[in-house]
Amino acid sequence: MRPSCASSARPGTGRRDRGSARQMLVVVSAPSGAGKTSLCEWAVAAVPNLVHSVSHTTRAPRPHEMDGRDYHFVDAATFRSMVTRGEFAEWAEVHGHLYGTARAVLDGYFAAEQDVILDIDTQGAAILREAHPAGVFVFVVPPSWDVLDRRLRQRHSESEEEIQRRLARAREELRHYAEYQYVIVNDDFARAAEELKAVILAERRRSSRVDLGFLGA
Ligand code: 5GP
């Protein structure tokens, strides 16, 4: 059973962040099937003023996925020309498809003074770690290899070849866990979700992000 999406107030103070953006970037990576997309969606519903970044991808939409909501689905030529024009804050090839976070998408969230949660792979996270050192980096892991295998098969959305490719890549991705500030084990969705929410709320209270405006300059 998923926990309820109780809201919690933001600090009553202004906030400042290191780097160019005042807003907080929460980067969540995990091997495919670890449940990070559901966790990110839950966090967006549970934490006020947090939006889920919508990536661009050349992958075909899965049933129930909507263009503009789950991804911006584009063809390879469009994606490549965006790369050439430097329009991505980060991009990577994952499972044979191209995925990227458009700068314009991030800028839109920042202009609206919203914190943003990104569900991206370890290559993209490494790029953003350089560009946004004040970002919050969270790695979600499955409780065991068997559980990951089972979850990937239960989705019924990938072929056996694709599942094998994702399992091989999961092994590689898991080796990167120590590059992240937080590791959440997704054995129980409700607990994992509460942990992610706790991380985000605690990070908002970092003194480096809080500006006690009433003290003056
Ligand atoms: P899926 O096809 O299952 O939605 O995503 C496959 C992988 O691509 C996941 O690990 C997901 O986190 C990653 N991914 C999704 N969007 C982006 C993105 O914008 N940039 C990068 N680097 N990876 C992404």
* CATH label of the domain that carries residue 134: 3.40.50.300
Cα 119 to ligand 1 centre (Å): 6
Average confidence score pLDDT of the chain: 88
Assess if residue 96 is contained within a domain. no
> For residue 10, is it within any domain?
no
Total of domains in the chain: 1
Q: Pocket residues for ligand 1 (CB within 6 Å)?
A: 32, 55, 59, 90, 92, 94-95, 99-101, 119-121, 123-124
Tokens of 131: 């560009």
Distance between Cα 91 and ligand 1 center (Å): 9
Q: Is residue 183 part of a domain?
A: yes
Ligand 1 atom, smallest distance to 124 CA: 22
Full residue range of the structural domain in which residue 133 is found:
25-53+115-204
CA-proximal residue: ligand 1, atom 14 (nearest): 120
Pull the structure tokens for residue 177: 């866990």
Q: Per-residue pLDDT tens for 67-124?
A: 999 999 999 999 999 999 999 999 999 988 999 999 999 999 989 999 999 999 999 9
Residue 78 lies in a domain: no
Is 120 inside a domain boundary? yes
Alpha carbons 126 and 39: distance in angstroms, whole number: 21
At 123-138, the pLDDT tens digits run 999 999 999 999 999 9
> Model-level pTM?
0.87
For residue 145, being part of any structural domain is answered with yes
Does residue 82 belong to any structural domain of this protein?
no
